[in-house]
């Protein structure tokens, strides 16, 4: 198995999903930012990023339900509590956003977008965990700017039937138990590592986002 992903410069647009607006009650925000086409906001690169909602008033009593797709294109959502005159950021990564629903009247203006500083995640690359030996090489090649990147693996498998029948609460990418790969954690220059034992999937995350960095990441698993 050989998989290569080009990571482009991250999206950095604070109101690219929704420009400044308010609601008089519970309502969906208008998705009217520069990154919206056909009612769907999409990142400008191959990775998913955390959604940031910034407001001028105290919206700590309001929740925003963000719906879209995860790094693997699977439908998912997150309920985010608003900030008090500041920015609230999701923990999940979104590659698209289709709706943002406010639970009540918004105080002041709010806007929504993706900020490069919040980092990003690639798709989860599902591995052949049954292979003997597992022998997987991981490679990071910085092609432009600066970037802080970590490779992660999970012992979890995407099929709930193979994990005792317990379904994921949200999606595999969201809920899997992700752990950093030894030797390829928070690296800032070309580097490589390997995994000798079976894992369910591998992904790469930017732990410190950059508005200038671009890279190519590679996963290569030997064939026996």
Q: Domain check: are 41 and 131 in the same one?
A: no
Q: Domain check: are 35 and 110 in the same one?
A: yes
Of the pLDDT bands very low, low, confident and very high (cuts 50, 70, 90), residue 207 is: confident
Q: How many domains does the chain fold into? A: 2
Quick check: 116 and 211 in contact, CB under 8 A?
yes
Q: Is 2 a domain residue?
A: no
Q: Is 38 a domain residue?
A: yes
Cβ partners under 8 Å of residue 76, min gap 6: 67, 68, 69, 70, 92, 94, 170, 171, 173, 174
208 pLDDT more than 80: no
Q: Domain check: are 43 and 75 in the same one?
A: yes
**pTM summary value:** 0.92
For residue 87, the tally of other CB atoms under 10 A from its CB is 16
Beta bridge partners, 215, equal 7, 142
Q: Domain check: are 129 and 80 in the same one?
A: no
Quick check: 14 and 86 in contact, CB under 8 A?
no
Domain, as residue range, for 88: 10-116
> 68-125: per-residue pLDDT in tens?
999 999 999 999 999 999 999 999 999 999 999 999 999 999 999 999 999 899 999 9
Give the pLDDT confidence score for residue 210 in this predicted structure: 75
- The helix/strand/coil state of 132 is coil
Tell me how far the alpha carbon of residue 213 is from its chain's centroid.
16
């Amino acid at each position: 198995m050989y998989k290569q992903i080009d990571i482009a410069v991250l999206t950095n647009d604070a109101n690219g999903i929704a420009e400044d607006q308010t609601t008089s009650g519970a309502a969906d925000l208008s998705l009217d930012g520069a990154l919206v086409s056909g009612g769907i906001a999409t990142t400008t690169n191959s990775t998913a990023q955390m959604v940031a909602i910034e407001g001028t008033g105290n919206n700590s009593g309001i929740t925003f339900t963000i719906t879209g797709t995860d790094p693997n294109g699977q439908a998912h959502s997150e309920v985010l509590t608003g900030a008090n005159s500041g920015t609230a950021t999701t923990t999940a990564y979104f590659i698209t956003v289709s709706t943002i629903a406010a639970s009540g009247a918004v105080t002041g203006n709010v806007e929504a977008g993706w900020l490069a500083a919040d980092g990003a995640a690639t798709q989860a690359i599902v591995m052949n965990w049954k292979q003997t030996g597992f022998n997987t090489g991981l490679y990071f090649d910085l092609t432009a700017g600066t970037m802080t990147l970590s490779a992660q693996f999970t012992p979890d498998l995407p099929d709930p039937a193979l994990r005792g029948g317990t379904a994921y609460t949200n999606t595999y990418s969201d809920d899997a138990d992700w752990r950093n790969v030894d030797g390829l954690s928070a690296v800032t220059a070309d580097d490589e590592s390997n995994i000798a034992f079976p894992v369910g999937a591998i992904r790469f995350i930017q732990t410190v986002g950059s508005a200038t960095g671009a890279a190519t990441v590679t996963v290569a698993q030997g064939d026996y």
